[in-house]
Amino acid sequence: MPELGKIERIDDLRTIWKNEARDFTGWLAEEENLALLSDAVGIDLDLEERESAVGSFSVDLFATEEGTGRKVIIENQLEDTNHDHLGKIITYAAGKDAAIVIWIVKKARDEHRQAVEWLNQHTDENIGFFLLEIELWKINNSPAAPRFNVVERPNDWAKAIKAAEGLSETKKTYVEYWEAFKRYAFSKPEMKSTFTERKSGPYQWYDLAVGKSNCHISLTASMTKKRRAAQLYISNDKETFEEYKSHKDEIETMVGSALIWHEANQDCVFGWDYKDADYDESNWEKYFEWYCQCALKLKEVVKKFG
């Protein structure tokens, strides 16, 4: 019979991180550990500053969302939630004009979990609050392993539907279309392991991060112009665009088709762009599959040439 280990939880977090600001925040600021947090909340985070000033105070970590630039504040607490830190996250969010607030704690008390839930219910689709518990586990005498447990998160689908109230019928359809796309795409293991699910809205596009701050994949559905597109969107970086374009033949061979290459005054794109779409709901799944295949190919292009 194989010998199996015993999983044990380490209740005292300070046996690993003795000082919250110096040890835990320093640990979380490291790239590989911030990636763990990114995976937990489903947002690709780029660290901007540690102990970032907010007036006479400072937030533990200040970050941005990769690809969108949305501002993110991260406040850490190696103890149970309290009113003091609840006030701090709201103060810091206001001071930084943050769109995303992440509060990491040892244990979330019910009243504070309910407060974060209330904040998510009563803010618009552009604001999101996350409450996470940090846990430590080990097997026998193994090193401690961290795990983030999401206690409260924004209900993006509910917020998107709420935001759709009062919108035109076309914009309501975009909300439904991209929410349906997310359900389809992120049920696929390859998409789920390659991309992070992102918020959608009443727009013609849905973006996917590719691990680069200057570009992202943009999926487009223009229902009035019958347009469908899947492109790598490069923001204000013509040098990068020219580098990709210098490999045009190799890239088009790699993806198996010719691509549209377009350079504007500041931003540039390349990918697929057609005006043949019929957005009757019976065709949605066909387009969703096409988006997935295009996105995966573009991500491989970025990995090889980016």
CATH number at residue 115: 3.40.1350.10
Phi-psi group of 295: left, alpha or beta (phi > 0 → left; psi -120 to 50 → alpha; rest → beta): alpha
Between CA 94 and CA 55 the distance in angstroms is: 11
Say what the pLDDT of residue 157 is.
Answer: 63
**Residue 35: both structure tokens together:** 């990636």
Of the pLDDT bands very low, low, confident and very high (cuts 50, 70, 90), residue 199 is confident
Task: Pick the more confident residue, 167 or 41.
Answer: 41
Between CA 77 and CA 21 the distance in angstroms is: 9
Say what the pLDDT of residue 152 is.
Answer: 92
Residue 220 lies in domain:
158-305
pTM score:
0.63
Asked if the model's pLDDT at residue 47 lies above 80, the reply is yes
Burial 288-300 (b: 16+ CB within 10 A, else e): bebbbbbbbbbbe
Say what the pLDDT of residue 161 is.
Answer: 64
Q: Indicate which CATH number applies to the domain containing 192.
A: 3.30.1460
Q: Beta partners for 104? A: 76, 132
Count: domains in the chain: 2
- SS3 for 121-154 is HCCCCCCEEEEEEEEEEEECCCCCEEEEEEEECC
Q: What is the pLDDT of residues 52-72, one digit of tens each?
A: 999 999 999 999 988 778 899
Between CA 189 and CA 203 the distance in angstroms is: 26
Q: Which of 137, 154, 171 is the last residue of a domain?
A: 154
- Considering the chain, what percentage of its residues have pLDDT values greater than 90? 71
Q: Are 108 and 194 in a shared domain?
A: no
